[in-house]
Structure 1
Amino acid sequence: MWAAWPGWDQHRDVQPDGSTTGPYEAWQVIGLVLIPLAPVYWAASRHYTRAAVLGTTAGLTVAAYYDWSDDSSGLFMVGVVLVMIGSLAVTAVVSAIVSATRQGGRPPGH
């Protein structure tokens, strides 16, 4: 997902006043957030909640690390940690909602 959304267009746009924006456009980030929700939903609805949460989080974290590790300032790790925390939180919440909805609000095993 990382290569399909933010991974391929990483140039900074120079504005007429000389300022720069980027390297990602809003639609790239939105796509990266929304599209992985389909496999998370699929896995959570089949009771693979841990795999949905940990797999998505690990995949996005490793991809962010690989993509940003050439930053000489070392600040890329702040971004990587934020990607990890954000993807862990979102996938955990989505997986919990899907699991509860698919089970009719019943605890697992009942």
Structure 2
Amino acid sequence: MTAAQSTRTRQTPLWIAGLAGLTALAYWAFLGWDRQKETDPVTGAETGPYQAWQLIGLGVVLALLVFEAGRRGRPWLAGVVVPVVLTVAFSLDAATSPDGDGLWVIGAVLVLLGSALGTGVVAGLGAALGRRTR
């Protein structure tokens, strides 16, 4: 094992903690505080609780985080940690919602699959750019 590989291995727990912490922070900053559903007065249909800007903001922040992790040579780590933490945060939030209808498990599966696909693509792009600039 070279010195660079040894340093890289020692830094892995820091990367895991950083990616997990920043993902959880981004989730709670954009989505975790909002539980208010909107009811259309004409149709009575409920929407929400999230607005488009919240989802876009979370997506942009996580994309930047994952891209940078990929660029710095950690695409697999980002591709695992971010979807898992995002799914756990969503699951905790949805399962404890007072207006929950019990369908949060389906939402959690969709969050896991969608975020795994998205992080895989973005981390791969970051890794490709990182290799190209080295």
TM-score, normalization by structure 1 = 0.85
Greater helix proportion? 2
Query: Equivalent of 1:39, from 57, 65, 70?
Result: 65
Identity of aligned residues (%): 35
- Deviation at 1:9? 1.7
**Distance in 2 between residues matched to 1:12 and 1:84, nearest whole Å:** 23
Q: Does 1:62 align with 2:92?
A: no
Query: Equivalent of 2:36, from 3, 8, 11?
Result: 11
- Deviation at 1:16? 2.3
TM-score, normalization by structure 2 = 0.71
Q: Does 1:76 align with 2:104?
A: yes
Query: Equivalent of 1:98, from 120, 126, 134?
Result: 126
**Per-residue CA distance 1:39-96 (angstroms, 9 max, x = gap):** 1122111111121111111110100110111366431100000000011000001111
Q: How many residues align?
A: 105
* Structure 2 unmatched ranges of 5 or more: 1-25
Question: C-alpha root-mean-square deviation of aligned residues, in Å?
Answer: 1.8
